[in-house]
Structures are given as structure tokens and as C-alpha cells.
């Protein structure tokens, strides 16, 4: 019996991609006034996140350092002038990013639909805790989701390491089989948790489907499909 639902945050409750699309364009314009950013800045930014975040996950560099590495590559790939102070430049990027913070339209509705069922409703995110909690406050879900679990509080284990899910279950005081995790990353949010006995649900917002063969975790294309899975 499921007693807790854990949501991933970025691209699950929180529209990270839209906020990055706004910020990457706006910030690039400030670097070279009058120069229109090329198409593909969003794809490049998201690709550099995928390339550089793992070094932080593996404790090979600090959270701030992986941000500097992303900016260096971003400017290099677009042939933009590299800011002298990368931390200050990233802070300027964050101003643009934060102005565009928003939830997906189905996020609050789904939390509403699951409330009152006696379930613990929380968050399990690979992000940095201060920023992730600020996002949840901005989108109005901080007071409605508890706990908010990040690797900082889970022995430094990131999804999809089994230790991450097991530490989350321990924090909840539940067996893994009593927990459902839902998120946009098929491996981290659906296949990984299933390896330790959790119920993992893949939120395939873009309807890309999967053609890579098994395993094929439960798949939904909107959070609004989630309550029906719990009846």
C-alpha cells in the first residue's frame, strides 16, 4: 500500500525549461548588447547542465564550480566574451532565471487531488536545497509538500544511486514498497527507485515514449493521471 508520494521538482512540478529559455536568451543579450542570441541557446544550456552537473554529484567539484564550467563552455560554444567574474555573471543569469519561475499547470491541481488521502506528499530532488526550497516557495507548494529531500540530507547520495532512495525511505520511516516516486527522468525517477522496491512513475511530458527496450516503467504524460494510479 502506498503511503507516501515523492515528486521530483525540476521538469515535474517546476517548469525549469521555460525559465532557462527566458534566462539564457535574456542573459546572452546583456553580454553582447544589440546581438540577438542564436537559436539553440536553450538546447545548449540544457546540454551543458547534463555535462557538468555530474561532476558535482560525484563530489569532484563544488556546486559553484560546475556553474563556472557551464558558463565557460556556454560562452566558448557561442563565441561570446567570457565574463571576468563568472560568479557575478552567474548571479546575473539567476536574476533572469528567477523572474521566470513557474509551476506546471498540473502541479497544484495534483497536490490538491492527493491531499486528504492520508498520504505523505513530499519532494525528492537532486538539486541544491536552498534553491530548490526557494522554487517551491515561489510556486506556492513549499507549505504543502513535506519533506523536501535533497542529497545534502541523504548522505550525499543522488538519484539514481540506490542509497538515495533508501535514505529517503528511512527519512519517511517507510518501507520502499510504500513509496511512489514520480518524475520526468525515466532512469532517476522511475527505473532507479523500482530497483529498491519503490513504485517509480515516469512523467513523459513531451510524449516521447521509449524505444530502448525493457525495463518499461509506468508512464504518464500529465501529473493529472497520477491520482488514478493510487486508487
Kindly tell me which of 86 and 189 has the beta carbon lying closer to Mg ion. 189
CB of 88 to Mg ion, least distance (A): 28
The reply on whether position 8 binds Mg ion by CB under 5 A is: yes
Kindly tell me which of 86 and 123 has the beta carbon lying closer to Mg ion. 123
Q: C-alpha distances in angstroms, 218 versus 111, 149, 191?
A: 19, 23, 9
The reply on whether position 15 binds Mg ion by CB under 5 A is: no
* Among positions 5, 6, 7, 11, the unique one binding Mg ion when judged by CB under 5 A: 11
- Secondary structure string (H, E, C) spanning 92-137: HHHHHHHHCCCECHHHHHHHHHHCCCCCEEEEECCCCHHHHHHHHH
What DSSP state is assigned to residue 182? E
The reply on whether position 184 binds Mg ion by CB under 5 A is: yes
Binding residues for Mg ion, total number by CB under 5 A: 4
CB of 78 to Mg ion, least distance (A): 25
* Among positions 4, 6, 7, 10, the unique one binding Mg ion when judged by CB under 5 A: 10
69 Cβ neighbours under 8 A, 6+ residues apart? 52, 55, 61
User: Applying CB under 5 A, which part among 63-71, 161-169, 177-185, 220-228 lies near Mg ion?
Assistant: 177-185
Kindly tell me which of 2 and 46 has the beta carbon lying closer to Mg ion. 46
Q: And the C-alpha cell for 217?
A: 516503467
User: Applying CB under 5 A, which part among 101-109, 162-170, 179-187, 214-222 lies near Mg ion?
Assistant: 179-187
The rounded distance, in Å, linking the Cα atoms of 56 and 23 is 22
- 10 Å CB burial of residue 34 (0-12, 13-18, 19+) is exposed
Footprint on this chain of Mg ion (rule: CB under 5 A): 8, 10-11, 184
Amino acid at each position: 500500500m502506498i503511503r507516501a508520494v515523492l515528486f521530483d521538482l525540476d521538469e515535474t512540478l517546476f517548469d525549469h525549461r521555460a525559465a532557462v529559455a527566458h534566462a539564457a536568451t535574456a542573459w546572452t543579450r546583456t553580454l553582447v548588447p544589440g546581438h540577438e542570441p542564436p537559436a539553440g541557446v536553450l538546447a545548449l544550456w540544457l546540454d551543458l547542465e547534463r555535462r557538468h552537473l555530474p561532476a558535482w554529484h560525484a563530489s569532484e567539484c563544488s556546486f559553484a564550480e560546475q556553474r563556472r564550467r557551464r558558463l565557460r563552455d556556454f560562452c566558448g560554444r557561442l563565441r561570446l566574451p567570457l565574463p571576468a567574474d563568472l560568479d557575478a555573471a552567474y548571479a546575473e543569469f539567476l536574476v533572469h532565471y528567477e523572474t521566470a519561475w513557474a509551476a506546471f499547470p498540473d502541479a497544484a491541481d495534483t497536490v490538491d487531488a492527493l491531499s486528504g488521502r492520508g498520504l505523505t506528499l513530499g519532494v525528492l530532488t537532486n538539486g541544491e536545497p536552498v534553491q530548490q526550497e526557494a522554487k517551491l516557495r515561489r510556486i506556492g507548494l513549499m507549505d504543502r509538500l513535506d519533506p523536501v529531500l535533497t542529497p545534502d540530507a541523504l548522505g550525499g547520495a543522488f538519484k539514481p544511486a540506490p542509497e538515495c532512495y533508501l535514505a529517503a525511505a528511512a527519512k519517511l520511516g517507510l518501507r520502499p514498497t510504500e513509496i511512489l516516486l514520480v518524475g520526468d527522468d525515466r532512469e532517476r525517477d522511475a527505473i532507479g527507485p523500482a530497483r529498491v522496491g519503490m513504485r517509480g512513475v515516469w512523467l513523459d511530458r513531451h510524449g516521447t515514449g521509449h524505444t530502448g527496450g525493457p525495463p518499461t516503467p509506468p508512464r504518464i504524460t500529465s501529473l493529472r493521471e497520477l491520482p488514478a494510479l493510487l486508487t
